[in-house]
Each structure stands twice: as C-alpha cells, then as structure tokens.
Amino acid sequence: MKSVDEHWQALVTTALLGTDRREPPEAPQLIADLVADTARTTASERMLAQVAATTAVRRAGVIPGPPLDELAMPDGDDRQPCVPAAVDRWHHITASWPVLEDEWILTLVTAGWRIAPELLPAMLMRHRSDPVRRTRVMVGAGSTGRWLVGHVPDLAARHPNATVTPEALAELPELPIAPELAQLVNRPGAESGGVLAQSLEDGTLGHPHRAMLINLVARVRADALLDIADILGAVDSISPGYGLATVLGDLATTRHRMLDELST
Amino acid sequence: MPQPDRNTARNDRVQRMHGGLTELDRWLDDRIRTGLADPSLARYATWDDLAARLVDAQAGSLANRIRRLAGLVGASPGWHDDVLAELGLLHLLSQAGRHLGSLPGPLADAVATAVGWQVKQADVLAGVPDTDHWVVAGRSDVREDRIEVRRHWLRGTSSGQWALCLSFAAYQQSLDTSLRVGTSLHADLHRYPGPALRSLVGARYALPVDPVTPPSQTIAEGCNEVGSMLVAEPWLDRLPVTIRARLARSGEVWALADATGSLPVLNAGTRQFDAGLAMLLAVSEGREVDLTVEWTPHGVVPLSIHLPDRTIDVGPRANTSFVSAA
C-alpha cells in the first residue's frame, strides 16, 4: 500500500504537469477517507482536496530526522567567561563609546577572563581586518574562538598571516590629546575634574575640543574617574558647557563601570 | 467568530470575504489545472493581483500568505513541494472560510482569524484573561513586505500553554521592547477568538523577574507537541517549542539533534553566516542546551538559549536601519 509520503510525491508530479494533462493519483485509504464526497466533479477539484488533506496529515505527523553525529568540542579553557554585565557593557561601548573598546579587551585579557561565548561571533566579525585587535580577540576567545572560526568560515581573519608584535598587542593605542590637556591624564580626579568643569563652565573648552576631551577621559587614571564624573555632574545647567560636561561625565561613569566589571 | 446576522455592515463584510474566498479557490483550481511548470507562476502579477483582490475582500492574512508564496517560486530546488503544500492549505482555508457557519465555534474563530477577519483590540481585551506567570521564551523579527513583524512567544508557568504577542513596525517606527526574553511576567493575557495563540498583554501585576527557563523536552517530544498544535490548525506556519538539543551538521546544513533525532535549521547552510546560529554554536560548543525554537514547515529557527544563570536571545533581529528600538 502507498505511504502518505509516496502519495505526496505522486501529487507533486501531477501538480507539475497540471490536471489538464494528468489525472490525480489514487489516494491511499487514509487520505481517501478524508476527501470522500461527491461534490468534487473535476480532476482539479479532486486534486486540490487531496493536496490539502495530504499536507495537513504530513504536517501534523511531523517527525524528527535521523540522529546526527556530535561535533568535536573545543579544548577546555580554565578561564571564566566575563560576567553578563561586561557583555552588556561591550555592546554599550561599541554603540556609544568605541574609544573604550581597546581597553575593554585588554583589561579582560589582563585580568584573566575569557570573552563570554555569546560575544564571540560579534567580536570576531567586527575585527576581521585589524590584525592587532583581531589577535587580542583571539587571545580573549581562546580555544572556543579557534573552534568557532573553524565552523563558521565567515568569521575568519581577512589577513591571517599579518604579524603583530607583543608590544602592539599589550599597549593601548595612543590617542591625540592637546599638551595642555595631556598634563591632566595622571592628575587625581578632584584636580582634573575641577579643571575640566571650570573650563567648560567659562567656555574655555567647548564643542570644538570634544574629540580631545573624550580622548582625555578615555585615558585618565582609573582612580580619577568617579571624581571626574561627580564633578562634571555638578556643572551648572545653564552654563554653555553643561551638555558636553554631561557627555564626558557619562563617558567617565561608563569607563569606571567597565573597569569595575572586568576587575579580578 | 463573525456573526453574519448582527448588522448590515457585517453582512457586507462577510459577503465580500465569501466572494474573495470563492475567487481564491477558482484561482487555485487554475494553478492545479495548468500545473506548477506554467510560466505564469514566475510573473509577479499572477500573485500580486490576487493578493490585492484578497485585501479588498477583507482577507488580509490570506493576501499575506499569497505574497509569501510568490517568494517560494524558484527559491529552492524543492520549491514545487513547498508551493503545492501551501496551495493545499489555501484551499483548506478557502473551503473552511466559506463554511464558517457549519464549523464548531472555536474552529470557526480560528479559521476566521487565519483568513484575516479583523478583531478590535478592545474586544480582545474585554475577554476573560489567562492570568499566569508568563515566561518570555523567545523572540523573532521577520520582515513581511514593508512591515517588520516581531513575535514574542510566551509560555504560562502554571498552564504550560503557549501564547504569541505580535508587534508591527513600518519604516522608522518602533517595535515592542517591553517583553524581555528570559524574564517572567505575572500578567493577564487576553487571547484572540478561538484556540488562538495570538494574545494581548493586559494588566501586569509585578515587574518582570529573571532568569526563568521553560521546561524542555527531547526533539521527538517536541515534534509531538508541534504535531498536536498542527492537528488543531494545520495552516499555522510558525510554532514555538522548547527542546534540549545540540547543533550538528547534516551534510551542508546545520541541524538540531539529540538521541531521538534531528530537525533542520531553517536557511542554515554551513557556508552561510547567521549571527544567531553562530552565537548558539559559540555558547553551546556542540553540547546539548535548552533552546526555544520556532518550528516552521521548512526547518526550525533557534530563538533563545536557556542557561542556568541567564537566557541568551539569538532570534532573528530586525535591521536597525529599518526600524528603531530593535
């Protein structure tokens, strides 16, 4: 007796040619019972009824395909994946503060974390072309990163043979900061924050200096960040520098939290 | 369910829909007579004209199915199978839609919804709610024509019942971001008429709690669950199920597998990049994990990975250049 699947194949063959050229196949009992009536007089009507019934039966009888071999798993990695808050932070900084991304990955590696696996595809895809960042990601990714690239060729590096020096790998890229601002990099937060707040309020610093100010906050010493954020948060809301102070305060807060989440 | 005798406007509407369904069946009959090799199937007008007439006939859901069906022609080596199956389901719906009065109430409601009978949100919200702790088990975004459709699949902790909350966004509009995958929401859900999955969230009794994992099952058990839902409504083309499975290769495509069998992943050639699938691969490292997936007739779509400490949303995501808040 014909199975439902065999009957379906016969229906597909008939449907390709059309019932003007070929009569519908004889239905197996199961389908014939479902479509048995005298109302359908033409071949196409009988065919449509069979197609509808057979489709409904096949869908309701959804069954799994055969079991499949397991994938070979990646080698183990003793490092813990970074915490979910750090994962969220990476998404936030790549969207809003990309100037912090190098420090995110360097801090993660230095602190002995590995990149949380759910971040790997996005990070590998984002850093296919830059050899230094790519190498940092692969260090942070460990064996899972290499294993993943093996399974998903689109995640492979664009320049796999590029040479990266250990110095380039370990150092944050230098950011352009004007000399008069650069001296604030190593100052305590109360001092550097005070200078910034005063200069923003009196208009000495403003939007033309935005890029340099962002670079400065991205490189000031870590223990200065909270003070800077607090002081910038207190900038007079009617002063011309209020908007920029808020932006820089957010950057300082974001960087402080980022470093906190990635601390050991 | 539409009640044709209630008033003239409704009568007119039912009549128009009836006319549209009759025309649909005539069109289906033509396709079956002339065959799927007929060159007219490759012409846009063949489908679009019918879809437009179905919209006029208040059968918008069927019009959407027709447009999706047009996209299947020539799309894969087995497109004849896919198109024929969809023609069969359209026939089933057109027949059922023309005999709503003779169907049992819940089935008639389900058919009317599948055909495109519009129900006001206020009417749905006026219905008796399902109150439960609803786990937001998965999310998927799919572009349908010029609209982005977001599906949130919720599962009742007490009832074990699934529900679907839809949101829609045209270009530069926002999708619903109030439901976060992996959280549990103590709330009223109001279902559309019939044994509908589609629901609206009503009163919320507490802030969402996380993380929560819906109960998982084997692939074979998951197939049984999907089959049971399809027995009731064979025309459904997306259904949720939570399974415990691992990624595996089936020739040149990815599949989900366990000791009881396997299910192909939709549109997942091993040579194509899919962000959600890559994330699943990275997180699972080839091991079995609890997953909520969306079953479709052509394969499953992984939506979320339920880990002991968190749920990771890996469902297809709308392009942020098209809609915001994606």
Q: What residue ranges do the domains of chain A occupy?
A: 4-60, 84-170, 179-261
Token digits of residue B75: 């799309």
**Chain B hits for A72, Cβ within 8 Å:** 286
pLDDT at A38: 59
For chain B, what is the mean pLDDT? Answer: 90
B212: pLDDT strictly greater than 70: yes
pLDDT at B13: 83
Measure in Å the smallest separation between the Cα of B62 and chain A Cα atoms.
15
Kindly determine whether residue B271 and residue A153, on different chains, have CB atoms separated by under 8 Å.
Answer: yes
Segment-wise mean pLDDT, segments of 10 residues, chain A, 264 residues: 89 96 91 77 92 94 94 94 96 97 97 97 96 96 96 92 86 93 95 96 93 97 97 93 96 98 88
pLDDT at B7: 66
> Bridge partners of B250?
B253
Which of A42, A118, A128, A158 is the mutation pick for testing B, counting most B CBs within 10 A?
A118
Kindly determine whether residue A67 and residue B29, on different chains, have CB atoms separated by under 8 Å.
Answer: no
pLDDT at B172: 87
Strand B311-313 with B253-258, pairing = unpaired
B2: pLDDT strictly greater than 60: no
Residue A46 CA to residue A27 CA, distance in Å, equals 10
Taking the complete model, does pTM exceed 0.80, yes or no?
Answer: yes
**Chain B hits for A62, Cβ within 8 Å:** 223, 226-227, 230, 295
Kindly determine whether residue B223 and residue A62, on different chains, have CB atoms separated by under 8 Å.
Answer: yes
What ipTM was assigned to the predicted interfaces of this complex? 0.88
Measure in Å the smallest separation between the Cα of B6 and chain A Cα atoms.
31
Measure in Å the smallest separation between the Cα of A155 and chain B Cα atoms.
8
pLDDT at B42: 86
Across B93-131, b (16+ Cβ under 10 Å) vs e yields: bbbbbbebeebeeebbbbbbbbbbbebeeeebeebebbb
For B219-240, what is each residue's pLDDT tens digit? 999 999 999 999 989 999 999 9
Residue B305 CA to residue B284 CA, distance in Å, equals 9
A127 close to A134: Cβ distance less than 8 angstroms: yes
- Crossing angle, helix B105-115 and helix B60-72, to 10 degrees? 60
pLDDT band for position B298 (cuts 50, 70, 90): confident
B325: pLDDT strictly greater than 60: no
CA atoms within 13 A of residue A257's CA, in its CB half-sphere: 18
For A131-174, what is each residue's pLDDT tens digit? 999 999 999 999 999 999 999 999 999 988 888 888 888 899 99
Token digits of residue A95: 């969207």
Token digits of residue B250: 């089936």
pLDDT band for position B82 (cuts 50, 70, 90): very high
B182 close to B306: Cβ distance less than 8 angstroms: yes
pLDDT at B213: 82
Mean pLDDT, rounded, for B111-130: 91
pLDDT at B269: 65
